[in-house]
Amino acid sequence: MGREKALFVVNSVYQLLTAVHLRRCLPEGWEGELLLTDLLPEHQALACRGEETGVFSRVLLGKARELQGRCHLNRPQELEEVFGEGEKALLAAVDGELGDYSQVYFANCDALTRLLACRYYHSPTRFFWFEDGFSSYVIDYLREDRAAANRHREGRKLRDKLHAALLYRPDYALRGDGVRNLPLPPLPAGDLALLEILDHLFQYRPLDIPEDVVFLEQSFRAENIPCNDLELMEMCRQALGPGRFLVKPHPRNGENLAAEKGLSRPWKDSVPWELYLLHGDCREKTVVTVCSNGALTGRLALCPPSGERTVLLYRLFEGKILWKEDALLRQYLERFRREFQGRGVLVPQTRAQLEDLWDKEAMACGR
């Protein structure tokens, strides 16, 4: 009998960091293979470095971008064409031979993952959906009325195969989809072996910036969500004064609009924010955001929690953070606020409160 084997499907740098962590949590003797898709910037370089770490026994490349272009999850005709091809469509989307897996770990209920569920539908392979930020807590991606793929005879097989969701904080789950929520082991801050792997994989360099306040942008523009996030950035920048405020752009937004509008100098690094947290690079920083997952991770996912001061502006945000589940997300954020406010987390309710916060900050810095 061969060794137990797991496949990790990865579409983003945050998912890759989590996949490395999960691979190291597998029982001794297990193999782990990585399916790295072209939705990641520089995915081929990441694949090479992933092989060099030795964490994964094999690294496969996936053509998720092309598959997404052919198969929109809410277009029945495209679903019929792609799922009608079955194994042919899957093999065309994966460079390399898929193996026999005991477990498949994924973060997105996309066409590629659904084709994998079809391939292993009659096998004992168990599928685990791992956390990919707050959306994993509030969005029922497999609900029938959410997308045509969830009603398609082949596309819906992913729900049948789904064994459980893995979350850092299962008690925060609000999806209401009936899927079991199991605890994902926390990221061990200070684990030198893990840091060595992640440092090589992501070409880590310490966060060496003079600014003491970092604004974590979110993907509102990529999602075509009208909002006032740039206005909130401007409020913070003006209150803090020159040389103290820096915006970390969201990679999915494409352009760095904050830098183009003069709200911040350009952000140079591509290292995942969570890796900075694991190294403790942000302890002396103040992190500001509407509600970026990167600002929540340090307290929800790390053990011990990171200690940076965090200012959440979701109560000042004008617009929907999520198109369909905005009300549930705000419940999730309020739960976070109740647990952590007064322990380094600030949630201003009015613009006057935000201005007062920065006035106190300016006085503390001698302005």
Report which of 102, 184, 64, 101 is spatially closest to residue 136, judged by C-alpha positions. Answer: 184
Domains 5-185 and 213-364 agree in fold:
yes
Mean pLDDT of the 132-161 span? 97
pLDDT 10s digits, 58-67:
999 999 999 9
Contact in structure between 264 and 289 (CB atoms under 8 Å): no
Rounded to an integer, what distance in angstroms lies between the CA atom of residue 287 and that of residue 270? Answer: 17
If one compares 360 and 242, the residue with the highest pLDDT of the two is 242
Mean pLDDT of the 181-208 span? 96
- 5-185: CATH number: 3.40.50
Mean pLDDT of the 8-27 span? 97
pLDDT 10s digits, 106-127:
999 999 999 999 999 999 999 9
Mean pLDDT of the 36-46 span? 95
- 213-364: CATH number: 3.40.50
Mean pLDDT of the 264-272 span? 90
Least confident of 166-175, 180-189, 235-244: 235-244
Mean pLDDT of the 260-272 span? 91
pLDDT at 91 over 60: yes
Give the contacts of 246 (CB within 8 A, at least 6 positions apart): 209, 211, 213, 214, 215, 264, 265, 267
Rounded to an integer, what distance in angstroms lies between the CA atom of residue 359 and that of residue 335? Answer: 27
pLDDT-above-90 percentage for the chain? 89
Mean pLDDT of the 62-85 span? 96
Confidence at residue 242, expressed as pLDDT on a 0 to 100 scale: 86
Q: Locate the domains of the chain by residue range.
A: 5-185, 213-364
pLDDT at 51 over 70: yes
Mean pLDDT of the 296-310 span? 95
Q: Quick one: pLDDT band at residue 220, thresholds 50, 70, 90?
A: very high
The mean pLDDT value of the chain amounts to 94
Mean pLDDT of the 2-14 span? 94
DSSP state string for 13-26: HHHHHHHHHHHHHS
Rounded to an integer, what distance in angstroms lies between the CA atom of residue 8 and that of residue 10? Answer: 6
Q: Is 181 helix (H, G, I), strand (E, B) or coil?
A: strand
Mean pLDDT of the 87-116 span? 97
pLDDT at 362 over 80: no
Rounded to an integer, what distance in angstroms lies between the CA atom of residue 104 and that of residue 331? Answer: 30
Residues in the chain: 367
Confidence at residue 363, expressed as pLDDT on a 0 to 100 scale: 45
Q: Quick one: pLDDT band at residue 366, thresholds 50, 70, 90?
A: very low
**Residue 352, CB-side half-sphere exposure with 13 Å CA sphere:** 0
pLDDT at 30 over 80: yes
Q: Quick one: pLDDT band at residue 251, thresholds 50, 70, 90?
A: confident
Rounded to an integer, what distance in angstroms lies between the CA atom of residue 349 and that of residue 85? Answer: 52
